[in-house]
Amino acid sequence: MIKVSYTRRGMLSRLAVAGGLVGLGGCEVRRHPSYTFKYTLTIKETTGLRQGSSVVKVNSSTSYGLGSGSHVTRKGDAAWVELSDGRLVVALMEGRGAPDYRPGWREGTDYLFMHLYGIEWNPTDAAYEKWSYQELARQRGTRRLAAEQMPILIVYDDQTDPDAYRFVDVANPAATLGGAVKSIAIDIAITDEPVRSGLKKKLPWLKDKSIYRVQTGRGGMPLSVGRHQLISD
């Protein structure tokens, strides 16, 4: 499974202190109801649209107190699209983080998706917070991500080489992918479909579980892409 830990920009720490959720030195852990989402990557080329999707199940918990933050376990693979020239574009399980503290993929898909579906998230009330996750799992309909909300995109120029990738500028995809690519879009939908993707068939080197380490650079951008950002087992 893909395990991602993140802190929502210090938000939870401030709420824990201001709301008196736990005593000094104490810690409260809340395990949230799970949900499943489908995210679809659409790339417009001069020859037409190319599209691929993945279904991912999310389980998460939140700790309140000293070291407040969230822990997320995702089961599912990254969404991908094969371009007309054979290159593979992949939407990673990691985001850059939206500016000005707005909800983004890096802050956690639960927080982002609640924002997109208009669900209020109130961590000061455990019962209300549980309801928020239950309500999220009941949502249907598609929502399109803004550029700053998208996960990080990469392109593999050689699918047989795990190091043969480049980062894609979603605002100017032609700069990385060439003039034949006109635009990139990502849509998400809460669903009850089974987990699926098939990325391992496109990137057979993913069978090597040693390809996992990720180093993070400025702005939250990874300096290297790890296996766990691409696939779960």
Contact of 41 with 187, CB cutoff 8 Å: no
Regarding beta strands 27-31 and 151-156, do their DSSP bridges make them parallel or antiparallel, or are they unpaired?
Answer: unpaired
Which pLDDT does position 21 carry in this prediction?
43
User: Band of the pLDDT at 206, cuts 50, 70, 90?
Assistant: confident
At 17 the pLDDT is: 37
Look at residue 108 and tell me whether its pLDDT is greater than 80. Answer: no
Residue range 77-88: mean pLDDT, rounded: 92
Whether residue 81 is predicted with pLDDT greater than 80 in this model: the reply is yes
127-152 residue pLDDT tens: 888 888 899 999 999 999 988 888 88
Q: What's the Rg (C-alpha) of the chain?
A: 18
Count of beta carbons in the 10 Å neighbourhood of residue 220: 14
Give the pair of three-digit tokens for residue 185.
């879009």
Residues above pLDDT 90, as percent of the chain:
28
Q: Which amino acid is at 205?
A: W
pLDDT at 213: 44
- Residue 175 near residue 149, CB atoms below 8 Å: no
Whether 9 has a pLDDT exceeding 60, the answer reads: no
Q: Residue 89: its pLDDT value, please? A: 94
- What was the pLDDT predicted at 26? 59
The half-sphere exposure of 228 on its side-chain side, counting CA atoms within 13 A, is 14
Place of tokens 């190091």: 163
As beta bridge partners, residue 66 has: none
User: What are the CA-CA distances from residue 43 to residues 32, 149, 171 (Å)?
Assistant: 34, 17, 12
| Model pLDDT, residue 40 | 95
**CA 78/CA 91 separation, integer angstroms:** 6
Look at residue 210 and tell me whether its pLDDT is greater than 90.
Answer: no
Instruction: Average the pLDDT over 195-206 and give the result.
Output: 80
Of the ranges 93-107, 119-133, 206-220, the best mean pLDDT one: 119-133
Catalogue the E-assigned strands of 129-207.
142-144, 151-156, 165-167, 181-190
**Integer CA distances (angstroms), 115 to 104, 107, 231, in order:** 10, 12, 26
Helical pair 109-116 and 126-138, crossing angle rounded to 10 deg: 70
Q: What is the mean pLDDT of the chain?
A: 76
Lowest mean pLDDT among 38-52, 93-107, 199-213: 93-107
Q: What is the mean pLDDT of residues 175-179?
A: 90
